A and B are shown apart, each in its own frame.
Chain A
Amino acid sequence: MNAYEWVEITLFFVVLLALIKPFGTYMARVFQGERTFLSPVVVPCEKLIYRLCGVNRDEEMGWKRYAWDMILFNLVLFVALFAMLLFQHLLPLNPQKFPAFTWPLALNTAISFVTNTNWQAYSGETTASYFTQMVGVAVHNFVSAATGMAIVIALVRGFVRRTTSLLGNFWVDMTRATLYILLPLSLVAAPVLVSQGVIQNVSAYKTVSLLQPASYDKPKLDTRGNPLMDAKGNPVTESDTVSEVTVPMGPVASQEAIKELGTNGGGFFNANSAHPYENPTPLSHFLEILLILLIPGSITYTFGLMVGNTRQGWALLGVMLLVLVGSFAVLQGAEVSGNLLVTRLGVHGANLEGKEVRFGLAGTSLFEVATTGTSCGAVSAMHDSLTPIGGMIPMSLILLGEIIFGGVGSGLYTMLAFAVIAVFVAGLMIGRTPEYLGKKIEVREMWMSILTILTAGIVVLVMSGIAMITPSAVASMANPGAHGLSEVLYAFASMANNNGSAFAGLSANTNFYNLLGSLAMILGRYVPAVAVLAMAGSLAEKKYVPPSLGTLPTDKAPFALWLTLVILIVGALTFFPALSLGPIVEHLAMLGGN
């Protein structure tokens, strides 16, 4: 890294850390129903929504009803989006006259956005109408993030409350998360992004003449539209000249803001945050990374405030920062060293395949670790073209379970499940009673924590295994050998952990990946979510155990280090064999020169 990059990265973390306390405090006030500076504007809207929708905001729910309402709401979201995609051709705001989604693609896409995954087996600019983007997927960007926040707040209440079965009201928590947090921030962020060049309009696509017409080889098609092949099986081409191109338009900025803020990550365009209309300048890049990490980082402080000891929150944030910065260092190091096989051809400089010039190398590396440490999955570089070790970093961050900052809400609740396990294991090793935040950790909490942290891992390994023995799934790989395995492993890791980024060479719009992937996203989202709520219910019913000499202090550095180790050990034990067959073998092959 050069001196400028050191300053840039340092500046980023200074800004992020400076925002955590004020923003975390604000979120705590929102979820505890206290007055905030937005109350004069938002309270009337909030009351109106509750009245119109028949929600009694003083009515509290036990964990079962909270979980049921969450699932019911997500079911409604799914049905609505699925229908919207299937009938896209009949809906308004479709200046390019895009046809309907095919049903497997619509199913996959609807589940993907409802589960906060935003895996995209389609290219936005050639498939999705403005209505689909704006009224369809963008709405889910808000509510899927709000759902995650509601769940984690219920879990925190489980720790805080004593001998009760009540965890709060799902509708109220979800509505507050949207109206007080996601919407105002998006309203501020979107115009700033526009100022940098992110587009925001509903015009038809524009035709632009090229300054210098370009000739290219066009594949010849037969009468049925299939590519013609010569005797050797190579495609037959003819020369063609292109003198004008079509430039896609759209309401991009409004979607871009919530896409990062809600750790959704579904791009308006196929190139996602690498597209100059989604991310035009280094400043927009900086802001987008900040938006990705802002809520998952600040909510650790919200947690600390709510449990009455902010150091509990800082300890978790410390774990996240440690792993994030370490991952950044490895990724940046690998990309600066470049691709040996390319360097040997007489190319000098770092690995720039699949990267944009304007962001700079360090900025790009920071975006990629932020987007995979959280469950965002937006990309400003193509992960498929990172060096083998570089590409292993985003994959590993996803495989750890989306806890390094993690998804909005889902990151903290998964991290808390890890903390419960760390407390329990430490308790076994040093003979202390397993307690966390004044609540005894017993069989039920352990079961629910294990379900939370292992579901995605099991799904990834089983489904990648199935893909490896399915010829049609193997045929989707774009790159041969070890890298092909990495593509498939990354795809299921991304879907099961609700990330949404990809080693995008994989042709994922096939029935196999659309359908099996849908299942991965559902299991990866709802099994942990319900398990967490069940744990919250059981914790809330327990009595408070005041800390004694036998209590392991969980708000100090030794525990943070221990928790980091537990996370890394669980990750390594689960995935090391798979990673050694993918990126690690490829790295060795690169060093060996073949």
Chain B
Amino acid sequence: MKDIKPAILIFIAFTGICGGIYPAVVTGVASVLFPKQAGGSFITDKSGRVVGSRLIGQPFSGPKYFWPRPSATTDFGYNPMGSGGSNSGPTSPDYLKAVADRVKALKDSGVSNGAPADLVQASASGLDPHITPESARVQIPRVARARGMTEEALLKLVASYTEDRQFGILGAPRVNVLALNLALDKLAP
């Protein structure tokens, strides 16, 4: 067993450096420079109570709220303890039936002219906090009716909660569903 000594000692040294010092330094730097992000980007209300995280989607149903994407997390939708996608194959009969059901539910809620893909197909994380701007717009008539608001007011609200591509180039335009619904509750409780 020639060289077993350096093998063990180097392992111990690197465990100390890469497993101890490195994460400790990153944790320290993060907590000084970006404490909010490092802690989970939580949103608090006026009284300081945590109402959710900007980054972790929440389930919404019923006519009064904007709906997020379908979620395939374990046990129940948007369960942060069970992140993951449906892993349904594109030709799976169960999957196609689930999509058909969602399309029908969306149609019953008043969305005509077909369903936007993101509202009937589950996200990869199951926690996707966003929907596309189109998916927010098609829900406006329903929410307006349920809350007794004008569609113009809601169009404005959705527009102000639409994030553009980052730096105008990266990624896709999107609407944060939790942030939008929080604003909605404030506007017309």
A-B contact count (CB 8 A): 393
B3 contacts A216, C-beta separation under 8 Å: no
B124 contacts A248, C-beta separation under 8 Å: no
Q: How far is the CB of B68 from chain A (nearest CB, A)?
A: 10
Residues 53-94 of B, flagged 1 when their CB comes within 8 A of A and 0 if not, give: 111111111100100010000011111111111111111110
Which of B29, B40, B168 is the one whose CB lies under 8 Å from A249?
B40
Q: Which residues of B contact A286 (CB under 8 A)?
A: 170
Q: Which residues of A contact B188 (CB under 8 A)?
A: none
Q: How far is the CB of B39 from chain A (nearest CB, A)?
A: 6
Q: Which residues of A contact B182 (CB under 8 A)?
A: 211
- Give the CA-CA distance A77 to B50 in the complex, in Å: 42
Within 8 A of A (CB), among B17-66: 17-20, 22-23, 25-27, 29-31, 33-34, 37-42, 49-62, 65
Q: How far is the CB of B125 from chain A (nearest CB, A)?
A: 4
B87 contacts A197, C-beta separation under 8 Å: no
Q: Which residues of B contact A134 (CB under 8 A)?
A: 19, 23
A355 contacts B37, C-beta separation under 8 Å: no
- Give the CA-CA distance A486 to B54 in the complex, in Å: 36
Question: Chain A interface residue count: which class?
Answer: 35 or more
Q: Which residues of B contact A126 (CB under 8 A)?
A: 81-82
- Give the CA-CA distance A324 to B50 in the complex, in Å: 44
Q: Which residues of A contact B58 (CB under 8 A)?
A: 210-212, 245
B26 contacts A357, C-beta separation under 8 Å: no
Spot the interface stretch: B115-123, B139-147, B148-156. B115-123
Q: Which residues of A contact B168 (CB under 8 A)?
A: 4
Q: How far is the CB of B97 from chain A (nearest CB, A)?
A: 10
Q: How far is the CB of B140 from chain A (nearest CB, A)?
A: 18
Identify the interface centre among B13, B37, B54, B69: most chain A CB within 10 Å of its CB: B37
Q: Which residues of B contact A55 (CB under 8 A)?
A: 6, 10
Residues 196-226 of A, flagged 1 when their CB comes within 8 A of B and 0 if not, give: 1111111101101111101010100000000
Q: Which residue of A lies closest to B127 (CB)?
A: A276
Which of B65, B99, B125, B126 is the one whose CB lies under 8 Å from A345?
B99
Q: How far is the CB of B90 from chain A (nearest CB, A)?
A: 5
Which of B26, B34, B61, B166 is the one whose CB lies under 8 Å from A212?
B61
Q: Which residues of B contact A80 (CB under 8 A)?
A: 11, 15
Q: Which residues of A contact B185 (CB under 8 A)?
A: 211
B117 contacts A349, C-beta separation under 8 Å: yes
A53 contacts B87, C-beta separation under 8 Å: no
Spot the interface stretch: A22-30, A336-344, A525-533, A556-564. A336-344
B90 contacts A353, C-beta separation under 8 Å: yes
- Give the CA-CA distance A281 to B167 in the complex, in Å: 11
Which of B49, B75, B125, B170 is the one whose CB lies under 8 Å from A271?
B125
B100 contacts A345, C-beta separation under 8 Å: yes
Q: Which residues of B contact A281 (CB under 8 A)?
A: 166, 171
- Give the CA-CA distance A39 to B28 in the complex, in Å: 24
Q: Which residues of A contact B115 (CB under 8 A)?
A: 346-348
B27 contacts A254, C-beta separation under 8 Å: yes
Spot the interface stretch: A138-146, A453-461, A541-549. A138-146
B69 contacts A357, C-beta separation under 8 Å: yes
- Give the CA-CA distance A478 to B181 in the complex, in Å: 35
Identify the interface centre among B23, B115, B129: most chain A CB within 10 Å of its CB: B23
- Give the CA-CA distance A497 to B139 in the complex, in Å: 46
Spot the interface stretch: A68-76, A153-161, A295-303. A68-76
A202 contacts B40, C-beta separation under 8 Å: no
Which of B1, B23, B37, B79 is the one whose CB lies under 8 Å from A199?
B37
Q: Which residues of B contact A255 (CB under 8 A)?
A: 23
Which of A4, A53, A379, A590 is the one whose CB lies under 8 Å from B10?
A53
Tell yes or no: A586 within 8 A of B by CB. yes
Assuming the contacts A139-B19, A216-B76, asked whether A53 and B117 have C-beta atoms less than 8 A apart, the reply is no
Spot the interface stretch: A187-195, A408-416, A435-443. A187-195
A171 contacts B6, C-beta separation under 8 Å: yes
Tell yes or no: B172 within 8 A of A by CB. yes
Tell yes or no: B158 within 8 A of A by CB. no
Q: Which residues of A contact B34 (CB under 8 A)?
A: 191, 194-195
Q: How far is the CB of A127 from chain B (nearest CB, A)?
A: 11
Q: How far is the CB of B30 from chain A (nearest CB, A)?
A: 4
Spot the interface stretch: A325-333, A380-388, A395-403, A420-428. A380-388
A345 contacts B96, C-beta separation under 8 Å: yes
B38 contacts A352, C-beta separation under 8 Å: no
Q: How far is the CB of B86 from chain A (nearest CB, A)?
A: 6
A203 contacts B39, C-beta separation under 8 Å: yes
- Give the CA-CA distance A379 to B45 in the complex, in Å: 34
B166 contacts A481, C-beta separation under 8 Å: no
Assuming the contacts A178-B14, A590-B90, asked whether A54 and B83 have C-beta atoms less than 8 A apart, the reply is no
A589 contacts B123, C-beta separation under 8 Å: no
A187 contacts B22, C-beta separation under 8 Å: yes
A357 contacts B123, C-beta separation under 8 Å: yes
B18 contacts A505, C-beta separation under 8 Å: no
Q: Which residues of A contact B51 (CB under 8 A)?
A: 208-209, 211
Q: Which residues of B contact A197 (CB under 8 A)?
A: 37, 41, 54-55
What are 28 A-B pairs with beta-carbon distances under 8 A?
Answer: A8-B170, A8-B171, A52-B9, A68-B2, A69-B6, A72-B3, A183-B17, A197-B41, A206-B50, A208-B51, A211-B182, A212-B59, A216-B77, A245-B58, A271-B126, A282-B170, A342-B117, A349-B116, A353-B121, A353-B122, A357-B130, A382-B85, A384-B88, A385-B86, A391-B90, A505-B89, A586-B90, A594-B91
* Apart from A125-B82, A218-B75: 18 A-B pairs, beta carbons within 8 A: A4-B169, A53-B10, A123-B82, A125-B83, A178-B18, A183-B17, A202-B27, A208-B53, A211-B178, A245-B78, A246-B81, A271-B83, A271-B125, A349-B117, A351-B90, A359-B172, A479-B88, A505-B87
List the interface of chain B (C-beta within 8 A of A).
1-11, 13-15, 17-20, 22-23, 25-27, 29-31, 33-34, 37-42, 49-62, 65, 69, 75-93, 95-96, 99-100, 103, 107, 114-118, 120-132, 165-172, 174, 178, 181-182, 185
* 5 nearest A-B pairs in the assembled complex, by CB-CB distance: A282-B171, A505-B87, A483-B89, A274-B124, A349-B117
List the interface of chain A (C-beta within 8 A of B).
4, 7-8, 11, 49, 52-55, 65, 68-69, 72-73, 75-77, 80, 123, 125-126, 134-136, 138-139, 141-143, 171, 174-175, 178-179, 183, 186-187, 190-191, 194-203, 205-206, 208-212, 214, 216, 218, 242, 245-249, 251, 253-255, 257-258, 269-271, 274-277, 280-283, 285-286, 338-339, 341-342, 345-361, 363, 379-382, 384-388, 391, 478-483, 486-487, 503-505, 586, 589-590, 594
